[in-house]
Structures are given as structure tokens and as C-alpha cells.
């Protein structure tokens, strides 16, 4: 769920504005401010942009971050500037899920902040993802088997890198590695290294500096034309191993009971 309602209320009070004063400054009805703050309605895309500009925030921070007295914006490394995410919307002001195919990966590193580049990417919607900002990336290579090369991973934009969880999978966009889909090996710490782990154990884990990272997307779903193969029938060797393991477990239980 988004944090729009609580953030608007907090930010308005922080500026010592009444709902009427805030509405007058944004040229909207006071009743709308009340509806937004009480979660009875959500502002449209264009109005969200006005709110973000008024409070000097990115739209992603306004929507997804929980802003309070302890909140601090997390700067995204981009020549020392805070990144504002470029998105596209449909005719109903709904955010699209843009698809970054492998052939567009190199261009994405240069055009990720360019609204025109983002608008030209293929777009789609998924009914289960109604809140938040999502983007889809076609993965390349076999470092994340059993997910095959060509699988499309749908990620939710992660504005606060402190929310990274060790063991979860992410699409990481960095200056040195480009677009990679990996498992996080540690929590994010500012000015520290982020360890990236492949599910395919042939590939060794490696780390990249936080200042090298441009974007992070938490993996939420994947789309693939490769269906899972049926489990092979057990061989005599695997059955023997299973029986041996069961015997060890039973022996361990008996020892604990004695």
C-alpha cells in the first residue's frame, strides 16, 4: 500500500498549513485534501506531481516512503545527484509497467532518467500490481538458474535501499555491471559494498560499491515461456540415500529421547 495519505497530512502540518490553506495554494477543493488524507480517494498522476513539487520530493518518495520526523531521503548515486524516477502512464493516469528487453539494456543505462526513452519502451499492466511503481527486465545468461535466460522479471521500485533484505532477489542497475538479477547477500549500508549472489553456484558471489548503483527493483514476479520439467523418477541410488537419511533422523530422535 502507498503512504500518500499519511505523508500528505504530515507534510502539510510540517508547513503549519490548514487543509484550506493547502488547498488554496494547490488550487484544489479543501474536501479533496480531506479525502486524500483520510484515504477515501487517491490523487491523480498530475496532482501527485504538483504535490511532490510543492514538498520538494520525488513522486516515488511521496508515494512509497513513510515520511516522519525520523525519515531521511536516500540519495541514489548519479553524479552525486538525487535521482527522480521517470515513469509513463496510460490514458487513465495509471502507471505502466515498462519492459526493458535485453536489446534495450545498454540504452537503459543512459536513458533510465529520460522520460522520452521510458515512454518508447513496451508497456503492459498486471492486475495484481495496482499500487507502487513496477518495471520489467528481460534477464540474460544462466547465473540465476532455474530461471532461464529470456525470463522477464517484474520488479517494484525500491526508493529506500535500507529496505534491502539479505536473501531476497533484486534487479540491480549499476554503472559497472549494467542490469543484473541477483540475490542480496547483505543489508544495504551507505558507502559500503552490496554483496550479490547468483542462484547458480557455478558463479561466485561478488560485491559492488553503493555509489556504483543507479536503481534497485525488488523482484515481485516473473514471466517465462519455459515450463518446469517433471521430477525424474527416483533411481536406486536416490532411494538408498533417502532411506539412509531417514535412518539417521530416527537414530537422532532416539538419542534425544534417551
- Burial 159-184, CB ≥16 within 10 A → b, else e: bbbeebeeeebbbbbbeeeebbbbbb
Q: Is 186 exposed, middle or buried (0-12, 13-18, 19+ CB in 10 A)?
A: middle
Grid coordinates belonging to 7: 505523508
Q: Which CATH fold topology does 97-223 show? A: Umud Fragment, subunit A (2.10.109)
Q: Which residues contact 204 (CB under 8 A, 6 or more apart)?
A: 198
Is it true that 4-64 and 97-223 share their CATH fold? no
pLDDT of residue 82: 41
d(CA 36, CA 85): 23
Q: Domain ranges in the chain?
A: 4-64, 97-223
The total number of residues written for the chain in this structure: 258
User: Is residue 229 scored above 70 in pLDDT?
Assistant: yes
Please give the pLDDT value at position 240. 79
Please, are residues 161 and 172 in contact by the beta-carbon 8 Å criterion?
no
When computed from its CA atoms, the radius of gyration of the chain, rounded to whole angstroms, is 23
Distances from the Cα of 178 to the Cα of 64, 109, 151, 161, angstroms: 25, 7, 17, 18
0.75 surpassed by pTM: no
Judge: domain 4-64, CATH 1.10.260.40: yes
* Highest mean pLDDT out of 29-38, 74-83, 189-198, 230-239: 29-38
Residue with more model confidence, 222 or 2: 222
Closest to 202 in 3D by CA, of 250, 144, 155? 144
Residue 130 pLDDT: 78
Mean pLDDT of the chain: 85
Instruction: Note the pLDDT of residue 112.
Output: 80
In whole angstroms, what is the distance from residue 102 CA to residue 125 CA? 20
Contact yes or no for 172/180 (Cβ under 8 A)? yes
Q: Which residue has the higher pLDDT, 186 or 131?
A: 186
User: How large is the average pLDDT for residues 72-77?
Assistant: 54
User: Which tops the pLDDT comparison, 216 or 236?
Assistant: 216
Half-sphere exposure of 256 (CA within 13 A, CB side): 6
Amino acid at each position: 500500500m502507498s503512504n500518500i495519505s499519511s505523508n500528505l497530512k504530515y507534510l502539510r502540518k510540517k508547513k503549519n498549513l490548514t487543509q484550506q490553506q493547502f488547498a488554496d495554494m494547490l488550487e484544489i477543493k479543501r474536501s479533496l485534501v480531506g479525502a486524500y488524507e483520510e484515504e477515501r480517494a487517491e490523487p491523480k498522476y498530475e496532482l501527485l506531481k504538483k504535490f511532490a513539487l510543492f514538498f520538494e520530493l520525488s513522486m516515488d518518495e511521496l508515494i512509497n516512503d513513510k515520511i516522519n520526523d525520523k525519515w531521511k531521503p536516500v540519495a541514489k548515486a548519479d553524479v552525486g545527484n538525487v535521482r527522480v524516477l521517470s515513469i509513463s502512464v496510460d490514458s487513465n493516469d495509471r502507471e505502466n509497467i515498462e519492459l526493458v528487453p535485453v536489446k534495450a539494456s545498454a540504452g537503459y543505462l543512459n536513458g533510465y532518467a529520460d522520460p522520452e526513452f521510458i515512454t518508447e519502451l513496451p508497456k503492459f499492466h498486471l492486475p495484481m500490481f495496482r499500487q507502487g511503481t513496477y518495471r520489467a527486465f528481460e534477464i540474460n545468461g544462466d547465473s540465476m538458474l532455474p530461471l532461464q535466460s529470456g525470463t522477464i522479471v517484474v520488479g517494484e521500485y525500491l526508493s529506500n535501499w535500507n529496505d534491502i533484505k539479505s536473501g531476497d532477489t533484486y534487479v540491480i542497475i549499476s554503472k559497472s555491471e549494467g542490469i543484473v538479477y541477483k540475490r542480496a547477500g547483505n543489508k544495504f549500508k551507505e558507502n559500503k559494498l552490496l554483496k550479490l549472489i547468483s542462484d547458480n553456484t557455478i558463479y561466485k558471489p561478488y560485491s559492488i560499491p553503493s555509489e556504483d548503483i543507479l536503481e534497485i527493483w525488488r523482484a515481485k514476479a516473473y514471466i517465462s515461456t519455459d515450463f518446469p520439467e517433471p521430477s525424474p523418477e527416483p533411481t536406486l541410488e536416490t532411494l538408498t540415500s533417502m532411506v539412509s537419511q531417514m535412518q539417521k533422523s530416527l537414530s537422532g530422535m532416539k538419542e534425544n529421547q534417551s
